[in-house]
Every structure is written in C-alpha cells, then in structure tokens.
Structure 1
C-alpha cells in the first residue's frame, strides 16, 4: 500500500480519478437551482422590513445584496481550501480549522492591529494572508519530517498547534490590551457586511480560476510525492503554490468575516464520498455545496432567535464537530471489521 509522502502514514483511500467531464449534469443543475433559491431567501431574511420602509430598496442593496454575495464567496473559499489541503496531505480530516491555519490568520490580524492603530481592511487582509501562509507551511513541513502511523494523529497535531497559537494570541492581546480585536475575530459573523466592506472577497474568484487551471497537477500531488514527481510534476513548487492559494482564501475570509470553523471539512468529504478525488470535476460541486452550506447556517443564525442574530460560526462549529466525529467513526469501522 502506498504511503503518504507528507504524513508518512498509509492512506486507506487513495485518490480515485473519475472522468466526470460533463459538469452540467441534472444533479448539478438541481444543486445550482437550490443555491439560487437559498440566495433569494437570504436576500429577504432579516429584521429590517425592506418592503415596508421608504429606504427599503436602498438598504437592500447596501446590506442584503453584499451579505448574500459574501456568503457565496466565503463558502466557496473555505470549501476549496479544505479540498486542496486534503489532496496535498492525503488526509480527509485536514482543513484550515484542523491545521491551525485559522489561528495563524487571527495572530496575523492581531499583529497588524498592534503595529497599525487603525489598520485598513487591506492591511488586515495582508497580515492574515502572510501569517496563514507561514502557519500552513510550518504544519506541512512538520508532517514531512515526522512519520506518523495513524492518519487520525494529523488533525490532532493541527488542533494542538492551533491551540498553542490561539493561546499566544490571547496572551499578546491581554498584554497589549487588544483582546477586543481577538474576540471580534473569533465570532465569525456576516452581520457587519455591507457595501464597501466586503469587496476584497471577490479576489476569491481569481483563486478559484487558478485552482481550476492547476487542478490536474494538484490531483497528481494527491497521489504522493513519488508518483507526482515520476509524472513530471515539480512537487515542492506545487505544494508551495497551493499553500499560497490556501493562505489567500483563508486570509481574506479571516480579515473580512472572521473564524468559520469546519466548513472546509464538511463539504469536500461529502463531495468525495460520491465523486472520488478528481479536483477538476469536483471543484464546481465543492463551490456550490460550500455556498449552500454556509447560506443555510446563516439563515438559521438569523432566524433561530429573531430579532437577535447568532454568529454563524456557532452553527458551523456545531454542525462541523458532529460531522468530524462521524467521519472519524466511519474511518475506524472498516479496521474493526478487518480485525474480526
């Protein structure tokens, strides 16, 4: 059985390359229509009565449209980041939340706040992207140097690393009286999204295009360093490039929205269960289901205790934790059966 060149562990489910050349299938069209319906529901969900007030249409374009667009872009970004991470590490349990990438982005935001008293969104985004890249590379380098016998240890290491970085951020925040910045970041919410405060999220479209252009090479990287190199792929350069794309997506989301846990874990695993691991054919599905997932969670967060709003990170964290446990149990079941 081939061993993972990064984690050093045997992978029970090697990437299976399926030829789904036809993207616009009936099921995909149904999924797109469902997301469009969720988008319409999102546009008309909220405490403010946009149909009964004189400035209703103005508020509709100032708040509702940007929020729905931000939901779609954010859902696609975090889902894609999780998908690329899982391919590179050959581990279904890896995503920005379970590798410490999110916590590194938060540390980057905190450092920016300390260096620049009133940082612009561009500065915050730059700090989050830079630290996300550094943190993700540290995680990958650690996995390449340490051979692990179980793939379940990989996310545990990432969670432990994230906890350490989170503790460092909390200590620095307390030391320099900047805890409010950390608290706002940990509570990922779309409540403050409005026109003029979300436009950087459109850079995610560029990230999506780049991932699609390099999809075949990233899929080969998912086969392991030895196989990818034998097929003419510069593995190290590709991992560095993929890490940069992940950092850009996660950093932008962290700066604009905040912490959104487990989205990159839920969506890629659902898609891979039915479609295998071909990045090019899975990418549209991952984007669409990522959009739908976060919109459902956001609609629930806005309506569960109306007129108040629950941070969407709480809904995502709850759902994601349940899915995370379910995936772990699903991976362990075949081993028990083989031992009988």
Structure 2
C-alpha cells in the first residue's frame, strides 16, 4: 500500500468509529430507526467530528507555516507563545467585556496572538541558525512566561477555572451551534495552501527569498496572520492542543520533503488523523468518563517527538 493512502484510509476508518463511540451507545440501525439517536448524531457526534477534523488539520498546517517562518523544525504555535497569546486575548475580553460575542473574543485573541508571535519571531531571527534546539528552548521559555502572566492575572480576577478550559484542549462541550466558527480556521488553512510555494521559498531565508523576487515582509506577515487566526480560533473554541503542529509536519517532511505545495494536503490529513485518534482514546480509556484530548496528545506527542529525534530520517521519494 502506498504511504499516501495510509492517512486517507485511517481518516475514514476513525471518522466512522468516532460517530459511534461515546457514553450513549448508538448502532447504525439506531440511526435509521430511532429519532433520538438521529438527533444525538446531528447535534453532538457530527459537530464533534467536524470540530476535531478542522482543529487537527488547521493546527498541523499552522505548525508547518510557523516552522517555515522561523526556519526551525522544533517550534509550533502552542509552544512559542502564539497559543498563550490567544489565551491572553480571551482573558482580556472576559475581564473587560464578559458579555462580548464569540467573534469579538476571537478577534482580540487573534490580535494578541499575532503580537506574541511577532515578538518570538523577532527573538528567533536574532539567534544563531546553527543552534535549532536553542531556538526551541527559548520559545518554550517565552511561551511559559506569557502563560504564567495569563495564570497570574486570572488568579487575581478569580478566573482560574476558565484558564483550565483554554489550556486543556477537549471536545466534550462541542455541540451544534457552538463550533461553526472553526470553519473560518479551515478557510484560513485553505488560503495558506494557495501561498504554499511562497512559504517554501520563505523557508530558505531572507536573502535567498528576496533574491528570488519574493516580497519577504508581505509573505511573513501573511504567514503570521494565518498562524495567529488559526491559534485564536482553536484556543477560543476547544483550548490548546499541543504537539500537533510540531510532530505532524516533521513526520510528513521526512517522508515527502519540504515542498509545501506537495506536502500540505498530507499534513492536513495526518493532523486530522492524529487528533481524531487522540479524541477516540480520550473517550474510551476511562469510559464512561472522558479525558481531555490535550492530555492524551501530550503523552502521544512527546513519544512521537522522541521517536523523531532518535530515528534516522528515511529517504525522500
């Protein structure tokens, strides 16, 4: 079987399984005969499936773009301050305007995520490219400082319970009417695919990019905006989902190379498969209780990252 068919087949299989996994047992016959089973499928199971797929695909694409912007394979939005910046924006809205619509929360979250991403990018570009692990370490410290600030402000405002929602990504609260704005993240990821060739050139560095005729500053700002929007939407709706933007682009890159025009569809599929698999595990490991998907992905992602570090890269086909 071709490696390119593994992700689509896994996605279809896991998607069907996801629709029938949960506290309430539903069979295919129940969906056809029982109106309550159909209602549950339409109001809970299908929206949750769509939210999981969009989140996984868009975060994986955002991670690939971030790695091109920073020219470092060991960064992703949720570890270098972008996700923490989005949480800061949501916290500011919650304190200043508790009744603000979800769109307002997302807008401010995207703005603060953009600002924190810009800050990390300024730091990363002043660091030696020969020290990739140092860039990742600084990113973790930078994101940790922002996250600590968010936690402190939330503690002062008695909002620590909300911080748990934003920092522990999970899909149990996804219902029809409460996830649809995530389709905007899918649209942003689709726009990023249109600029895939430019991001590939951007990853070669400023001098090479300008020499090839690329508008370096414009593409850089567009990439940051795309990453910030995706991070803000996912943090606002489902919370922080770690490691997806880190391990998925690296795995696909090892197999298919660094041409984003060629690899982005596979990155999106693989990200959706990873998050969907983690979501199913979160539902069955302690059934009838449910674990946060962020916890499951924290364990899976750490294991995959260690595997990436110590396994030799295969030959690109």
TM-score range, shorter chain: over 0.9
Q: Are the aligned partners of 1:73 and 1:204 in contact in 2 as well (CA < 8 Å)? A: yes
Offset at 1:247? 0.6
1:196 matches 2:177: yes
Superposed CA offset, 1:181-202 (max 9, x none): 1111112100000100000111
Secondary structure at 2:59 match in 1: helix
Q: Are the aligned partners of 1:49 and 1:56 in contact in 2 as well (CA < 8 Å)? A: no
Q: For residues 205 and 48 of structure 1, what CA distance do their matches in structure 2 show? A: 29
Give 1:69-84 correspondences, 5 Å limit: 69-84=50-65
Superposed CA offset, 1:288-309 (max 9, x none): 0011000100000000010000
1:277 matches 2:258: yes
Q: Which residue of 1 aligns with 2:103?
A: 122
The equivalent position to 2:79 in structure 1, one of 92, 98, 110, is: 98
Q: Are the aligned partners of 1:261 and 1:316 in contact in 2 as well (CA < 8 Å)? A: yes
Q: Which residue of 2 aligns with 1:40?
A: 16
Q: Are the aligned partners of 2:282 and 2:292 in contact in 1 as well (CA < 8 Å)? A: yes
Superposed CA offset, 1:110-168 (max 9, x none): 11100112332212212221111111111001122344651100111111011111111
Range with bigger deviation, 141-150 or 194-203: 141-150
1:28 matches 2:4: yes
1:251 matches 2:232: yes
Offset at 1:330? 5.3
Q: Which residue of 2 aligns with 1:49?
A: 25
Give 1:104-183 correspondences, 5 Å limit: 104-147=85-128, 149-183=130-164
Secondary structure at 2:132 match in 1: coil
Q: How many residues align?
A: 307
1:86 matches 2:67: yes
Range with bigger deviation, 255-264 or 115-124: 115-124
Q: Which residue of 1 aligns with 2:189?
A: 208
TM-score by length of 2: 0.92
Offset at 1:204? 2.3
Secondary structure at 2:181 match in 1: helix
Q: For residues 94 and 291 of structure 2, what CA distance do their matches in structure 1 show? A: 26
Offset at 1:87? 1.5
Unaligned runs of at least 5 residues, structure 1: 1-24, 332-340
Secondary structure at 1:202 match in 2: helix
Q: Which residue of 1 aligns with 2:290?
A: 309
CA-atom RMSD, angstroms?
A: 1.7
Q: For residues 247 and 190 of structure 1, what CA distance do their matches in structure 2 show? A: 21
Q: Are the aligned partners of 1:50 and 1:57 in contact in 2 as well (CA < 8 Å)? A: no
Q: For residues 326 and 191 of structure 1, what CA distance do their matches in structure 2 show? A: 30
